Amino acid sequence: MTRIDFVPTLARPFPGMSRALAQSPYSHRSARFRKRHDEVLTRFAQLLPGFEIRLIAGSGTLANEFLIWNFAVHARLPLVLLNGEFGRRLLKSCRAARQGTLSLDFGWGKPFNEKSLELFLKTHPLVDCILAVGCETSTGMENDLALLNRVAGRHGTMLLLDGVSLLGCHRPLEQYPAITAISGSSGKALAGLPGLALICYRPGGLITDRVTGRPGILSLPELAAADGVRNSVSSVLLEAFDSGLEGILELGVEAYRERLRDLKRRLVLTLRDHGYRCCSKSNSPWVTAFERPEPARWARLLAELERCGVGVYHEVEYLESSNLFEVAFAGDFRPADLDPLLEAFAKS
């Protein structure tokens, strides 16, 4: 029996992944790599038109550090919006780079409120940069980008987006002109392997002023000047990333998103019938948060999941402290893949 893990840290690969991983690695300094690098970025641009794109060896967390150290540090007064774990992490990183960064906490799992944000900005007129998480993985909630775009547009503020759990199955982001830059990762909904950080910004939006204290490795102007291949990006990760892009584009982004939504609908309805409650604002098409049952039933569920060869996401502090678990299915998940998972819930 092949194990299937329904976790946000690992996507189910599209068929092209096996071809990508069968290739022997090649140097990131070679002409072959340069050609593939440019081809992959061209393919990714179909998912995110209207942005310059850079690839960096590293995680989504590193991508957020690039976002902060190359855009937020230039702001007069940055503001980070919070409604989950990854907003909190964004704030911590931003305050380490930019003293005085403000925060507005809407509450764990609560949607952004336009009136509250407007009032905050009116009482803090120096704010000229808003940072927010596009999809708050800790609660499975996509935040309201149209709201953020409206408010940022009215106040003329830069909008920086943590898109690590958003890119891949997002609605067109080019329709939100206030977005200055977006971070991302090659894994999650983009269905590659983790290990490539993405930084995407509007053409002409790169700020080239020197930044005191910025580590050289986080200098986006230097990365751009090197035409995007400055650190040791693995050809294996590049090929795997391309296999995910290929799979998504063959389906079409809307079809991919709808496939994930269909899986989510079946998941939520079935688990509800067995007494498991979905978090009310867990609206992401690919990651869903549920309340944990009482301890004895939770233990039975974990044992049954193991017996059925499936796993859910639960062994992280922020889920344990919130008494939640998550089910995620980014990548090439099909209806039949859910059968052993739903069987385990039915028997628990």
Two tokens, residue 42: 């061209």
Q: What pLDDT, in 10s, does the model give residues 229-242?
A: 667 899 999 999 99
- Pick out the chain residues at pLDDT < 50: none
Whole-number pLDDT of residue 223: 87
What value, to the nearest 5°, has the Cα angle with vertex 50 and ends 48 and 56? 60
Whole-number pLDDT of residue 94: 98
Whole-number pLDDT of residue 100: 95
Report whether 23 contacts 203 (CB < 8 A).
no
Whole-number pLDDT of residue 45: 95
Q: What pLDDT, in 10s, does the model give residues 6-46?
A: 999 999 999 999 999 999 999 999 999 999 999 999 999 99
Whole-number pLDDT of residue 24: 95
Cα–Cα distance measured from residue 202 to residue 246, given in angstroms and rounded to the nearest whole number: 24
Whole-number pLDDT of residue 280: 86
Whole-number pLDDT of residue 224: 86
Whole-number pLDDT of residue 230: 66
Cα–Cα distance measured from residue 62 to residue 56, given in angstroms and rounded to the nearest whole number: 9
H or E segment to which residue 103 belongs? strand 102-105
Helix axes 339-347, 295-308, angle to 10 degrees: 140
- The reported pTM is 0.95
Query: Strand 4-6 vs strand 310-312: parallel, antiparallel, or unpaired?
Result: parallel
What burial class does residue 197 get, using C-beta atoms within 10 Å of its C-beta: 0-12 exposed, 13-18 middle, 19+ buried? buried
